[in-house]
Amino acid sequence: VSPAGVGIAALLLGGAAPTALGSRPALGRRLFQVLGIAGCLSGLVPAIPWLLDAKRSAGPGPSPWFGLDPLSAWFLVLILGVGAVTIAYGARYWGAEDGPRARRAHGLLAVLLVALAGVVTATTVLAFLVAWEVMAVTGFFLIIYDHHDPGVRRAGTIYLALTHASTLALMLMFAAWTGGHLGASFADLATSPPRPAALVLLLAGLGFGIKAGVVPFHFWLPGAHAAAPSHVSALLSGVVIKAGIYGLFRVLSLVAPIPAWWGWTALVIGVASAILGVLWALAQHDLKRLLAYHSVENIGIIGIGLGLGALGGAYGHPIVSTLGYTGALLHTLNHAVYKSLLFLGAGSVAQATGTREIDRLGGLARILPRTAIAFGVAAAAIVGLPPLNGFVSEWVIFQGLLQAGVVREPLRVAAAATAGLALTGGLALACFAKLYGTVFLGTSRSPATPARGGVDAALGAPQLVLAAACFLLGVAPVAVVPIAARIAARLGPGHEGVGGVPGLGPAAGLVSLAAVGLIAVVLAIVGLMAWIGARRPHAREGRTWACGFPRPSSRAQYTAASFAAPILGAFGPLVPGRVERGDAVFHVRPRDPVLDVFGTPLWRRLRSAGARANLLQKGRIRLYLVYVIVTLLALLFYLRPLRVG
Amino acid sequence: VSLYRFLSLVAVLVAAPALPGIATRTRAFLTGRRGAPWLQLYRDLAKLWRRGVVYSRTTTVVFRLAPVVLVAATLVAATMLPLGGDRALFGFSGDLVAFAGLLALGRFALVLAALDTGSSFEGMGASREAMIGAFAEPALFLCFAVLVIASGRFDLGDMLGTSLITTSRTAPAALLAAAALFLLLLAETGRVPVDDPATHLELTMIHEVMVLDHSGPDLALILYAGALKMALIGSLVSATLLPRAGLAPPLGLLLLLGSLGLLAVIVGVVEAVMARLRLDRVPQLLVAASALAGFGMILLLR
């Protein structure tokens, strides 16, 4: 019995436990938690040697349908690692009062994790597509958990339509590649270059791009990820959209050489997704929608790395290629960790206060201290600040872009993307300062919303685990950067052992040193301040200085909307919104430029055109007789010149 | 040689608080006033260091930790710049990303501390600071990209140690990058035309209003970090324009300190001859800085 088999069995059993033990919900939840986490960890075991042992090569696995290689192992670790934390959180998130619906959703979560593991370990086209579809449909049922809410149903419908558009594109892609032979394995595909290559690569970009949520196919994502229960959102945003990234990596590993136009397209779409994603996030007022738009941004950053890797391959620069792919892989892992953490934090906030409106919150750091710490770490990480993990992947991608600038070929133009990536970082800083400052700092903006502190104690631990991971990956990048670089080097031109990046490992060690140095200096100054604090006049407490105004009110605090206004103003029409003014009312409702500005009106026009066309077919027999007679007369008129004989 | 690099760092750390004083004094002189003594910031720091602290009841640990994080991040960033000679105390491939990241970390901490007070004025300052930061980031990275592409080196020490300004191929790009860095210096350190350190109305402040609630040693740390940041970005400008490769040890340091003083004088002149930009024009100034660096990049990639 293999650990993978044990893992799958434990996950599925754990998922079934809450429903099977419906009469004893507490026991069912506990079994779900224990078996689920054990299953995830057990499923991780086979992946470890693939990551640590550089020399290991793919042999015949235990199953003809599923198997591992370093790329699969990398994604499997992040899926099951985040999955285990999600299960721990989910088992506490829903209590007995949530009833059979929550118990079934626990089961769906387990199925989703197994399907995800299947997607990244499938070795044949058919197994991949089946796992992909199970993942997509399970995701749909989890998204419409609150299906009494019409907004949730709408988000679910849009998700379902888009995920099937993605599956359709993938089926066409594989059909074109294999010539209709869906039983083919990926190893077969590696030896048969796709023809026509342009069509296959375009369809791959479309299918996987929709799933990953790149601009302009992102518009299903914010609604769906905001609608789902928070720990499901964590899994969707942190892990499920990475299935699209995995797919792109898999295709890139099977095709050589990658045409340059594909790399340029990926790079441009990556920059556009990154900048537009963070700008649209800045305009949001809903905590979870904001986080979901940040997933678009981060997928864009991963796209920059992927595009750069493909370009390096296309122009024959293994160092650029390896740096790009390494950055993309690292960012995939890092984003999985901090984005799932942010969604778990959002879940705690929503459960403690009953609202996700940022401008109704404030001062939650006092009520939810553990959530506040974990969320703060994740916020600094997603902005890409040292000494946290987000910095490490951006450091690698920046180096790749700068390396591209030094070579003497068309590739050097890629260095211009540094400006895009830097702008993204600056805007992300503004956005998370706004989010964290408004939700956790200051004082509460609506005295009416009760805040339950018990939530923090129950849901804090899983978040702190992920926060520790953000911190460790940032302080000790030397542990993961070489692994990612090794996987990336095998994706590059020629597939095998082309390009380590000389000096990347030692440089990662120096990043660790800088991180440790920073922490040491912070601690030293804290110590110094404490020391002098002890010999100074006692620190006094008072009211915030309101510039002479005697009665400051919590409603006078800057809101998230005001905070973001000057930045959004500078970008003008890129960030559409509807302004609602009234007596003592001022709202800016952000609109999605693709869905709300183009998609919905287009859909409405299509429907009204359909309704007008419907006049032709109203089920009246007389009308149909008229059609028949008119047709007959027209045919007779047409046949008039043809005299018989 | 390593000792010399360390001593250069110490010299810059000690000299940094003089720079804002020189700029302010120059401005006062040119506008016909006497102005504060140019060493005033040292006195302010010493005074604040001895004072007690008042914390608002609204604030959390974020507010108390922010000045420390700001200073620590700026100090670590300082170790990555080549100050007196052609090498930095500490560096690695891609450390320019870490340099920018550390400055961003300081900004993040300060903005959060401002929001922690729950004051509408500080929120306003935080919002403006975040806006300036968002637009300054691409300009800084484009400058770094220009210097990397021109020198072919990936760490700050090697990159700034290369004499770019004396080679005809790279000189125009290096000049454009230095100009962009100077605009960044004005924006990042809260100087006219972006912010006015002499303003007395909270509504028009950016940097000062953000730290209204800080007092005592906390405020001293923030003021010191601001002066140090001026010295660091000034060193970037100085190293781009006046490469110090091959200079005998004390000469390089003297050249750096002299050029920093000159830069502070130029900042003062700019303050004396220019009015502040309207706030919604500030992004345009920073986009102009990006454009300058971008042109430099185009010259190199041509």
Dump pLDDT digits (tens) for B132-146: 999 999 999 999 999
The per-residue pLDDT for A499 is 55
Interface test with B, best of A367, A368, A371, A525 (most B CBs within 10 A): A525
Cross-chain Cβ contact A569/B280 below 8 Å? yes
Cross-chain Cβ contact A507/B92 below 8 Å? yes
Q: How far apart are CA A146 and CA A153, in angstroms?
A: 8
A518 touches chain B (CB under 8 A): yes
Interface test with B, best of A359, A567, A574, A575 (most B CBs within 10 A): A567
The per-residue pLDDT for A496 is 46
In the 8-state DSSP scheme, what is residue B278? Answer: P
Task: Tell me the backbone φ, ψ of residue A585, rounded to 5 degrees.
Answer: -130, 130
- Asked if A315 and A410 touch (Cβ cutoff 8 Å), the reply is yes
- Asked if A70 and A50 touch (Cβ cutoff 8 Å), the reply is yes
The per-residue pLDDT for A60 is 59
Q: How far apart are CA A592 and CA A382, in angstroms?
A: 22
Contacts of B178 (CB under 8 A, 6+ apart): B237, B240, B241
- Asked if A195 and A201 touch (Cβ cutoff 8 Å), the reply is no
Count of CB pairs separated by less than 8 Å, A with B: 277
Nearest Cα neighbor of A337 from A306, A290, A382, A275 is A382
What's the pLDDT tens digit per position in A487-515? 988 885 454 444 567 788 889 999 999 99
Q: A534: nearest CA in chain B?
A: B52
The token duo for B45 is 């720091």
Enumerate the residues of chain A whose CB falls inside 8 A of the CB of residue B91.
510
The beta-carbon neighbor of A437 closest among B105, B115, B120 is B115
The beta-carbon neighbor of B297 closest among A415, A432, A552 is A415
- The list of chain A residues with pLDDT below 50 reads 493, 495-498
How do A540-542 and B54-56 pair as beta strands?
parallel
Confidence of residue B122 (pLDDT cuts 50, 70, 90): very high
The arithmetic mean of pLDDT across residues B237-260, rounded, is 88
Strand (E) or helix (H) holding B56: strand B54-56
Task: Tell me the backbone φ, ψ of residue A124, rounded to 5 degrees.
Answer: -120, 160
Average pLDDT of every residue of chain B: 92
The per-residue pLDDT for A518 is 95
State the maximum Cα–Cα separation within chain A, in Å, rounded to a whole number.
Answer: 122
Cross-chain Cβ contact B130/A434 below 8 Å? yes
Q: Write the single-letter amino acid at A541.
A: E
pTM here is 0.94
Q: B93: nearest CA in chain A?
A: A507
Q: How far apart are CA A271 and CA A423, in angstroms?
A: 10
Q: What is the dihedral of CA A320, A323, A328, A334, to 10 degrees?
A: -160
Cross-chain Cβ contact A365/B60 below 8 Å? yes
Q: How far apart are CA A94 and CA A232, in angstroms?
A: 12
In the predicted structure, residue B83 carries a pLDDT above the cut 50: yes
Which range has the worst mean pLDDT, A302-311, A526-535, B18-27, B208-217?
A526-535
The beta-carbon neighbor of B120 closest among A503, A514, A556 is A556
The per-residue pLDDT for A498 is 46
Q: Write the single-letter amino acid at A554.
A: S
The per-residue pLDDT for A495 is 47
The beta-carbon neighbor of B54 closest among A412, A542, A569 is A542
Buried b / exposed e over B132-169, threshold 16 CB at 10 Å, is bbbbbbbbbbbbbbbbbbbbebbbbbbbbbbbbbeeee
The A residues from 529 to 548 touching B (CB cutoff 8 Å) are 529, 532-533, 536-547
Cross-chain Cβ contact A441/B128 below 8 Å? no
The beta-carbon neighbor of B56 closest among A421, A425, A544 is A544
Task: Tell me the backbone φ, ψ of residue A580, rounded to 5 degrees.
Answer: -115, 120
The per-residue pLDDT for A451 is 66
Nearest Cα neighbor of B84 from B165, B10, B185 is B10
The A residues from 366 to 425 touching B (CB cutoff 8 Å) are 366, 372, 376, 380, 383-386, 391, 394-396, 398-399, 401-403, 405-406, 412-413, 415-416, 418-423, 425
In the predicted structure, residue B200 carries a pLDDT above the cut 50: yes
